[in-house]
Amino acid sequence: MPGHAFMRLSMVLISFTFVAVMFGCARSKSDLNADTRIEANTDPNVFSLPHPEQFPVVEVELRKVTDELHVNGVIAPDVNRSVPVVSLGGGRVVEIKAKLGDSVRRGQTLLLIDSPDLSQAFSDYQKFKADEQLAAKQLARAQLLYDKGAIALAALETAQDVDDKARVDAQTAARRIKVMGGDINNPSPLLPVVAPISGTIVDQQTTGGTGVKSLDNSPNLFTIADLSTVWVICDVYEDKLSHVRVGDTAEITLNAYPDEQFAGKVINISEVLDSATRSAKVRIELPNPKGLMRAGMFVTARFKGKQSIERVVIPATAVVHLHDKDWVFIPVGGKQFRRVALQLGPQTSDGYVQVISGLKTQDKVAANALQLSSAAEEQ
């Protein structure tokens, strides 16, 4: 029995020793982990990089600049220089002599209409002309008889009145033919519709064989616009309207000719905002001596402020566009950079961009934001 008791005691001591050793090892390992644990970064806009020296930084600059506003617009004809073409006589179009996009001269025939109205006008003129000739003969006869005392003065006055009315009727009929576009010396049912001004046909609403109603053309047969001066129509949002004033000069760049700039003048700012877009229509008058501007062209309009202000500028390469925002990376010590959102202004000609908000003087930013952003995503 004593031997068995000694063996049980030995087994207990061995088990106790093993448990103590395991507990000590586990505690040592736990202490080691506690000593070497790295606190995780919970700010999604702070990035740690193993080699931050690969990303040089630049200090922001303070410059005197003028506020600029860039908006998109479209070329439109000047309505004061646009004239609808109508026919004062009804009928059917028998020949089209001009088409949409053609340049035309004032008085040039655009189309011919076989017009019953013109035929009726010629008929009335010929009748009134015959009545005028008859009245003139009757007046001459009455004058002769009155001079010989054969008729009373009242009879002569009646003949004079008939002659005056016949002359007025003939003159009115002739004027009607002329207004309609006919020629009293060349009676014809073909009514020519001519261009009222010189310019470009910007709209055509008729074709050969089309019926035309007298004084009830809806839409117009043609619209001719003088494009020597055009309008630029652009939308300016409500919060940017303070940048635009009537009389300001706007620099216009055509999408078709991006290397050329043209100077226009703001002539109107709408008094009513579009309820859907919260923007107002701004109208710019733009000379078009070379005929480069065509109706419907897209343009970019740039409005400049009249006073210079001091504003922070940074290289355009220091900005990266992510998630519909513009960001820069600011060093915050050690190997970390903080990503900061900005509100940007226009870009300058030397590759710098204005910063409206988000940075202040003496701040530093990574010179190449796109490269740093790509490196941060790989970590």
103-128 confidence digits (pLDDT tens): 999 999 999 999 999 999 999 999 99
Over range 33-52, report the average pLDDT: 64
Question: Are β-strands 298-315 and 320-322 bridged in parallel, bridged antiparallel, or unpaired?
Answer: unpaired
Neighbours of 313 (CB within 10 A): 20
Q: pTM of the prediction?
A: 0.60
Over range 340-361, report the average pLDDT: 87
Report how far apart, in Å, the C-alpha atoms of 286 and of each of 104, 296, 337 are.
22, 14, 48
Q: Is the pLDDT of residue 16 over 70?
A: no
pLDDT in tens, 260-274: 999 999 999 999 999
Supply the pLDDT for residue 1: 42
**Mean pLDDT taken over the chain:** 85
Q: Which residues contact 345 (CB under 8 A, 6 or more apart)?
A: 65, 67, 68, 311, 353, 354, 355, 356
Q: How far apart are CA 255 and CA 215, in angstroms?
A: 41
Report how far apart, in Å, the C-alpha atoms of 274 and of each of 14, 57, 152, 170, 236 are.
90, 44, 78, 55, 10
Amino acid found at 367:
A
Q: Are 116 and 224 in contact (CB under 8 A)?
A: no
The DSSP secondary-structure symbol of 40 reads P
Dihedral, CA of residue 326, residue 328, residue 329 and residue 332, to nearest 10 = -110
Q: Is the pLDDT of residue 95 over 70?
A: yes
Q: Is the pLDDT of residue 14 over 70?
A: no
Residue 374's closest CA among 202, 66, 366?
A: 366
